[in-house]
Amino acid sequence: MKSYYDRPLLKGPHWGSNVVTYLFLGGIMGGLGLISLLADDRPEPEMKKLRKATRYTAFALAAINPPILISHLGRPERFFNMLRIVKFKSPMSLGVWGLVLYSGAAGANAVRELADDGIVPKMLRYIAPSATVPIQALLGAFMAGYTGVLISATAIPFWATGKRHIPAFSVCSGAASASALATLLSTLQGNHDVIPRLERLEMAASALEVALIADFRRRGGAATAPFFEGRVGTRLRDFTILGGIVVPFALNAIGGAFKLPKSLDALRSIAASTLTLVGGYVLRESLIEAGKLSANDPHVAFRQPS
């Protein structure tokens, strides 16, 4: 096949670990929005505790994620230039607004919890309407998914090929990681009663995730090679598919099927959650790294995916 001395046609992303972290935490923020909605307005004490845990954590993440995003810019002091326009054709633009709005909703929900706990004046409870709970969940779904749209709406062949799969499994990965984080927090809180439900949610999310990744591999064709093969593919297999999905799924299934002694069970769920979180991070890292490799291959870039 013809090429120009095999020189890359495209320019790859300049994005490093700060972007990977942003994508990873964005996914978790999304999943926490869902869990906080699921636990909303329930009489059970374990749901109340879960609700608080997810709302405080989501708010904390909403506070630390923007600086991480800003740190990747070539001119960080000009971050606010992103807020001069709203551009529906640019997922990067919509994403920044999604982040801003999500932070607002997460803030409102955290303030309500703080007011209930008596940490801030009670009356503050009324400036944050309860509609912010489903709103945070909706914006959360956007936060978990838009990064997948953002990368597939580029010229990079591997990303472009995944226009259906990447956004969908990014959402699943975000939900699984959020369930894992909520499980860890609940373990710390001693809120053991809620853990079986979180683990079932995590199992569902990671089952859908692995199914989507498998389907992507089957249909993706040559452009997906940088993701599934070589160094990136090995890491993806070991840390995301096996370590981050299969093993935690098995551990969670064991936890659901057998009544283990309390401390052993805590150990089991801590292990499963930690592995899921690592797997979620490696998934995002593999997406970015494979994007860089994909940009170097001119042959797949000459005929770009529709």
Residue 222 is a binding residue for other proteins (CB under 8 A): no
In the list 146, 158, 227, 239, the residue contacting other proteins (rule: CB under 8 A) is: 146
Per CB under 8 A, 141 contacts other proteins: yes
Q: Please report, for residues 17, 90, 184, the alpha-carbon distance to residue 171 in angstroms, rounded to integers and kept in the order given.
A: 20, 19, 20
Q: What is the size of the binding site for other proteins (CB under 8 A)? A: 84
DSSP conformational letter for 44: S
204 binds other proteins per the rule CB under 8 A: yes
Binding test (CB under 8 A) with other proteins, winner from 89, 122, 259, 262: 89
Binding part of the chain for other proteins, among 41-49, 55-63, 251-259, 274-282 by CB under 8 A, reads 41-49
How far are the Cα atoms of 81, 204, 289 from residue 67, in angstroms, in the given order? 15, 32, 22
Contact assessment for residue 244 and residue 295, using Cβ atoms and an 8 Å cutoff: no
Q: Does 121 contact other proteins by CB under 8 A?
A: no
Nearest distance from residue 196's CB to other proteins, in Å? 9
Residue 150 makes contact with other proteins by CB under 8 A: yes
Our CA angle for 188, 34, 248, nearest 5°, is: 55
For other proteins, the binding residue among 25, 53, 133, 168 (CB under 8 A) is 168
Of the candidates 11, 7, 5, the residue with the CA atom closest to the CA atom of residue 292: 11
- Output 42 or 231, the one with its CB closest to other proteins: 42
Of 59-67, 198-206, 238-246, 252-260, the segment contacting other proteins by CB under 8 A is 198-206
Q: Dump the DSSP string for 118-181.
A: TSS-GGGGGGS-TTHHHHHHHHHHHHHHHHHHHHHSSS-HHHHHTTTHHHHHHHHHHHHHHHHH
- Write down the least CB distance from residue 56 to other proteins, Å: 19
